């Protein structure tokens, strides 16, 4: 599957990020904890090379905790500070705030050395669409200060958000690749609801999910999807799930389209359990 999804507002987002970099001290890159490496944007990271960065593995509540620990170790081996967080519950927020304070400390010391007053750290939050930037900001602020929505790309324009006396955030629109050529990466991004639903086939993505679970987490097929046999071709697995759930069309044929749609929703909401894809 090759996704080509680069709408006009993405071009604008890239330009805004480039323009706003000079206004901030630190950049937070949000990644989905279930597939952080699939979510990384090489173009975005090239733009940020000269800035202090903190990677936050968001939605950690939906990811396998052991996998998240491995992802953090891998990122830190690259020399990147990485923390994990659940923006809905606030778990991990203290560690994120402490990492920001640590990153800003040498900048504040430089202000003092030059005889200037230390101001609040200015932080920009970036990431691919629908990664949870607004919910992240709301969580750290402890109140609703940024717009949220279930559709990719809902954040528009620039918002400065004072989270505490010593930190203020600049929220920006998401940034997406002009083209995703690696099939598995595209399938992961579609499964995570990062790309628009018009850019992919729900059946193709649902079959990818079933294939992944069959190979890597067959217990989920047994416990969450109530399947007795997990080592079948994915089309047979899909038929069995549709039959178990009573998804039927007029005439008694299986409504596998409905099954695919609900499977994707179940994964995205965490109903299947904590699953990591990378």
* Residue-range domains of the chain with CATH: 8-171 (3.40.50.300), 201-269 (1.10.1580.10)
- For residues 4-30, average pLDDT: 79
Find the range with the poorest average confidence among 19-23, 38-42, 124-128, 172-176: 172-176
- For residues 175-187, average pLDDT: 77
pLDDT for residue 148 is more than 90: no
pLDDT score recorded for residue 5: 56
- DSSP letters along 151-216, please? STT---S-EEEEEETTEEEEE------S-B--HHHHHHHHHTT-S-GGGS-HHHHHHHHHHHHHHH
Residue 48: closest CA among 30, 32, 72: 30
pLDDT tens-digit readout, 234-244: 999 999 999 99
């Amino acid at each position: 599957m090759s996704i080509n999804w680069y709408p006009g507002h993405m071009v604008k987002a890239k330009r805004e990020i480039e323009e706003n970099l000079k206004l901030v001290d630190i950049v937070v890159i949000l990644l989905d904890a279930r597939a952080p490496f699939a979510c990384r944007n090489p173009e975005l990271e090239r733009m940020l090379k000269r800035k202090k960065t903190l990677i936050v593995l968001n939605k950690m509540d939906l990811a396998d905790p052991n996998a998240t620990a491995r992802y953090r170790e891998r990122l830190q081996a690259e020399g990147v500070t990485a923390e994990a967080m659940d923006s809905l519950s606030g778990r991990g927020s203290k560690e994120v705030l402490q990492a920001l304070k640590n990153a800003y400390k040498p900048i504040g010391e430089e202000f003092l050395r030059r005889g200037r007053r230390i101001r609040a750290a200015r932080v920009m939050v970036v990431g691919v669409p629908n990664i949870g930037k607004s919910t992240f900001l709301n969580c750290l602020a402890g109140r609703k200060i940024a717009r949220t929505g279930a559709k990719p790309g809902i954040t528009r324009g620039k918002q400065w958000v004072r989270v505490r006396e010593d930190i203020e955030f600049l929220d920006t629109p998401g940034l997406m690749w002009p083209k995703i050529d690696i099939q598995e990466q595209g399938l992961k991004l579609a499964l995570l609801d990062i790309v628009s639903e018009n850019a992919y086939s729900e059946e193709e993505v649902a079959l990818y999910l079933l294939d992944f679970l069959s190979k890597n987490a067959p217990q989920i097929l047994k416990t969450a999807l109530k399947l007795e046999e997990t080592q079948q071709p994915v089309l047979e697995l899909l038929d069995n799930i549709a039959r178990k759930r009573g998804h039927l069309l007029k005439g008694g044929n299986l409504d596998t389209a409905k099954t695919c749609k609900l499977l994707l929703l179940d994964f995205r909401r965490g109903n299947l359990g904590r699953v990591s894809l990378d």
